[in-house]
Each structure stands twice: as C-alpha cells, then as structure tokens.
Structure 1
C-alpha cells in the first residue's frame, strides 16, 4: 500500500532533520560516504569552473562584457563550492577536525608568541629594546610629563 502525501511529506521532513542533525549518520544510512560525496562535488565544481573559464574567455574574445562577467561569477561560485567540498573531504577523514565548530569555522592560532604583559612603569635604566614601539613612546611621554611638572 503506497504512502499518502501527508506521510510522504512527514517522512521527507524527518529525513531533512536527520541530515541537518547528523550528516555522517544520514550518509551511512543512504550508503554513500561523506568522502565520496565531497570528492564528487569537488570534481563537478572543477568541471563547472572550466565552463566558467570558457565563458570568461568567450566574453573577452567577443568583447561582450556581460558574458565575461557571467563567466567570472560562475568561476567564483565553482571555486567556492570546490574548496568547501575539499575542506569537507578533509574533515571527513579526520573526525576531530569535523567537530571543531558546527559552522565550519575554527579558531586560528596566531598573533604574539608571548603573552601580553600588564603595563608597568619602567625606570630610566630600563632597556629600550624591551616592549613594543607604542609602549616605549608612552613611557617617554609619561617621563616628559613628569619632568615638566604635569604638562
């Protein structure tokens, strides 16, 4: 006995919710792996990127700027999808990276290699090579202000 339209709609809704909640489990149920899907999406994005290059060059040769612009937009979209797919493929290979954050963005370690120090008043005998440029300038400003009676 076939399912009614209401039952089909509810089934599709539950399937979408499952895919959003746990894509790895949903792909396991479907029988396709995330790595295979990401690879397929990356290859398709590469083909579409080449179509964009053809459009861009056709627009440049025929001097029709809307065609060239459309080619550029197609190339940009394909590159975005392709890089996202490659990132997804790398995340599928390492489960720890996939669980970094649901949005796909993570924390980038960078900046200063040493922790910031609190502001301390230096004495005249302190080495000038210590601290950042702005800290040294602020210290010089304070010293001049103190020597001139607060002005």
Structure 2
C-alpha cells in the first residue's frame, strides 16, 4: 500500500532531521535499505541457480533422474526469485526519491475511465 502525499512529506522531514542531527548514523543506515536487500536476494538466487545446474548435470552424469529433476526445480525457483526481486527492487523507493504515481493502462481501467467520463458528462447536463 503506497503512502499518501502527507505521509511521504512527513517521512522526508523525518529523514532530513535525522541527516541534520546525526549524518554519520544516517549514512550507516542508508546502506542497509532495499538496495542491499535486493542485491543480496539476487546474488543468492544466482548462487542457487548455479547449484541447480550442478545438481542437474550431476544427476545426468550419475543417471539418477530424480536428482536432475530436483536440480531443474531449484533452477526454476531461483530464476523466479531473482526476477521477482529484480522487478520489485528499490526503483523509486530511495530515501530522496518520491514514488511516481502509477498510470492506469489496462483495458479494464480505460473502460472505467470512459464510463466515468460519460457519467460526468451526463450529470453536467
């Protein structure tokens, strides 16, 4: 759930006050935010993907099918984890960036906008 404009302004004021009061502490906290969490999650997913490849290849070499299947599933899970971490990443959520408003682009949203325009036009007559 995104923050309202008032809440965003309050958060920015609190951040500025923290930077003004104790810049060393504020800069230490800055590195442990979403950027670090997302980067760590992507790195773990890549490591898991490599481990999945090793399981897949080891299962094929040893001719043990279930090990290969487990390796494939590990690869698939890690790929999904990396993609979701990358997409949900910290873009637009930094301490000095305001969140951009989402634009409605779906078919249902356009239909709703047209319906709303028609209702507004009819009520204005």
Which residue number corresponds to residue 56 of structure 1? Answer: 56
Change (3 A) 1:71 1:40: same
Gaps of 5+ in 2: 4-10, 16-28, 94-98, 108-125
2:69 is equivalent to residue 94 of structure 1: no
Which residue number corresponds to residue 44 of structure 2? Answer: 44
Distance (whole Å) between structure 2 residues aligned to residue 71 and residue 79 of structure 1: 12
Gaps of 5+ in 1: 1-19, 101-105, 110-151
- The Cα offsets for residues 32-75 of structure 1, whole Å up to 9 and x where unpaired, read as 21111001100010001000000000011111000000000000
Q: Secondary structure at the match of 1:81?
A: helix
Higher relative contact order (CA 8 A, sep 6+): 2
Q: CA RMSD in A?
A: 3.1
Structure 2 length normalisation: TM-score? 0.51
Counterparts of 1:101-120 in structure 2, within 5 Å, are none
Which residue number corresponds to residue 80 of structure 2? Answer: 80
Change (3 A) 1:67 1:86: same
Which residue number corresponds to residue 131 of structure 1? Answer: none
